[in-house]
Amino acid sequence: MIKRIKALEKISQMLEPKGSQRTYWNNSIQNYADDFLDNFNQHTTYVVSETMGNGIYDFPIEENGKPIEEVLQCLKDNVDTPNINPASGGHFGYIPGGGVFTTAMGDYLAAVTNRYAGIFFACPGGVRMENMLLRWMCRMVGYPSTALGNLTSGGSIANLSAITTARDAKGIKAKDIEKCVIYMTHQLHHCVQKALRIAGMRECIIRYIPMDDYFKMKPKDLNQQIQEDKTDGLLPFMVFASAGTTDTGVVDPLEAIGIIAKDNKLWFHVDAAYGGFFMLSDTLKPAFKGVELSDSIAIDPHKGMFLSYGIGAILIKDTEALYETHRYSANYMQDAFTLDEEPSPADLSPELTKHFRGLRMWISLQLLGVAPFRAALEEKILLCRYFYKEVEKLGFEVGPKPDLSIAIFRYVPKTGDVNAFNQDIVDQIMQDGRIFLSSTTIGGVYWIRFAVLSFRTHLKQVDLALHILAGLTAGPKEVF
């Protein structure tokens, strides 16, 4: 047996690369990253691909490892080239992603040390760090010092956490579901519908409250609907507002909605996954007036703080409510629950073992400070306003004046199908690849969206977008 153990040990020790091997791999990875940042992918935003990354199947999972050069080439060709490049400053589609370099540094260290920051006992410093970041965000939104939340993988899970917490806090049981009423607008992000289903609330009654010309909820209509529902013996339970809708980036009238929610004892949740971090700027904060009246807020550091994908947050005013929904204990965890100086993420989320995702955010803020984030956010807002003005000068019809960093616009040609014409513009921009734009349809009207939230988007990229659009409307083929 000992012989066999030793033989296995020899092979299993490959899981612990020696110093020289580590250095070689580290250098290769570093060179790849530098090449990515300096050369190969910075200037294209969309790459039309025939193969769609199917060369990945030429690298099956096998008994023995392969040389790093081959592995990285496979990654470059199949993963880091085809289709959308979120690292490009020319990415104006959907909600542009981040990828601030310090995220990678934090993740690298979190992975190397593999600290378990789910339970205070296991890594008190890590839990303090994550809670400190949550309290920093809570302060930004105007929540009391007792508020907390949880760092999630993204906004979808943050919204889900808010829903399950609200459900339990309001004492909603399965038998009540069909009488429960939830209020939102058609502009609320679709992940909320998904989350309601996951939370077992598919049969709730959803009221879509009418919107004004800016696609914002009309508070009077909300109030009226709540009163009607109460009269009908239903259970009005939760209202959702958006602080930055995905389609047009507008903020619902949070204060008015908050007051109505409070008067009617509804849980008030704000989806600020996209827009929340604009609150870092004092000049932009007034747009969010009333956000502090909410019971919970979803906010995405992988959007508004430009971190790499994989970090969102749910902020909850009543920490106890979040705890009530998520805590659990098991006999095999008995050693872990003796210290409770700080609440543990494991008691505040569905996760137990988890990514130490706080480190990427903490190290970014520690190394860079808040100032560059705040400046970048203000810059993005101004770039969007600039674009909005300039694109109208080019002869495009523009949507409502942007509250934040998303504008919608379309070209109305003298003849022909307007929607098809604009769809064609989006297609041609994709073929060109220097920038990427996405579209939406609101009330049957096709709009092109211009969303600025990449930290690499500066005046140069916006001018390029305007230049390309000018060429397309002057005569669609000319610019190429």
Ligand X SMILES: *Cc1c(COP(=O)(O)O)cnc(C)c1O
Per rule CB under 6 A, count of chain residues that contact ligand X? 14
Residue 452 in contact with ligand X, rule: CB under 6 A: no
Q: How far is C-alpha 343 from the chain's CA centre?
A: 25
Q: Which stretch binds ligand X (CB under 6 A): 51-59, 255-263, 266-274, 440-448?
A: 266-274
* Binding to ligand X, residues 189-228 (CB under 6 A): 189, 191
Q: Which stretch binds ligand X (CB under 6 A): 199-207, 269-277, 322-330, 413-421?
A: 269-277
Q: Which residues 6+ apart lie within 8 Å of 480 measured at CB?
A: 428, 432
| DSSP notation for 317-379 | S-HHHHHHHH----GGGTTTTS--SS--GGGSSS-SS---THHHHHHHHHHH-SHHHHHHHHH
Q: Which is nearer to ligand X, 223 or 357 (CB)?
A: 357
Residue 271 in contact with ligand X, rule: CB under 6 A: yes
Residue 471, helix vs strand vs coil: helix
The label of the residue with tokens 């530098």 reads: 34
Q: How do strand 312-316 and strand 296-299 relate by DSSP bridges?
A: antiparallel
The neighbouring-strand residues paired with 271 are 242, 298
Residue 92 in contact with ligand X, rule: CB under 6 A: no
Residue of 96, 149, 290, 312 interacting with ligand X (CB under 6 A): 312
Q: Which stretch binds ligand X (CB under 6 A): 13-21, 148-156, 320-328, 378-386?
A: 148-156
Where on the phi/psi map is residue 330: left (φ > 0), alpha (ψ -120 to 50), or beta? Answer: beta
Other Cβ atoms closer than 10 A to 289: 15
**Closest approach of Cβ 457 to ligand X, in Å?**
17
* Residue burial 177-214, b: 16+ Cβ < 10 Å; e: rest: bebbbbbbbebbbebbeebbeebebeebbbbebebeee
Residue 96 in contact with ligand X, rule: CB under 6 A: no
Q: Which is nearer to ligand X, 119 or 188 (CB)?
A: 188
Asked if residues 312 and 301 have their Cβ atoms less than 8 Å apart, the reply is yes
Q: Which is nearer to ligand X, 190 or 265 (CB)?
A: 190
CA distance 294 to 254: 8
Site string for ligand X, 225-264 (x = CB under 6 A): -----------------x-x-x------------------
Residue of 92, 183, 267, 274 interacting with ligand X (CB under 6 A): 274
Q: Which is nearer to ligand X, 89 or 244 (CB)?
A: 244
DSSP assignment, residue 39?
I
Q: Which is nearer to ligand X, 189 or 326 (CB)?
A: 189
Q: Which is nearer to ligand X, 185 or 242 (CB)?
A: 242
**Closest approach of Cβ 196 to ligand X, in Å?**
13
Residue of 106, 154, 301, 399 interacting with ligand X (CB under 6 A): 154
Q: Which residues 6+ apart lie within 8 Å of 205 measured at CB?
A: 178, 179, 180, 181, 182, 229, 234
Q: Which stretch binds ligand X (CB under 6 A): 84-92, 149-157, 226-234, 253-261?
A: 149-157
Q: How far is C-alpha 397 from the chain's CA centre?
A: 29
Residue 156 in contact with ligand X, rule: CB under 6 A: yes
Asked if residues 274 and 403 have their Cβ atoms less than 8 Å apart, the reply is no
Q: Which is nearer to ligand X, 143 or 240 (CB)?
A: 240
Q: Which stretch binds ligand X (CB under 6 A): 3-11, 150-158, 439-447, 462-470?
A: 150-158
Q: Which is nearer to ligand X, 290 or 312 (CB)?
A: 312
Residue 279 in contact with ligand X, rule: CB under 6 A: no
Residue 300 in contact with ligand X, rule: CB under 6 A: yes
CA distance 249 to 265: 28
**Which residues lie near ligand X (CB under 6 A)?**
95, 154-156, 189, 191, 242, 244, 246, 271, 273-274, 300, 312
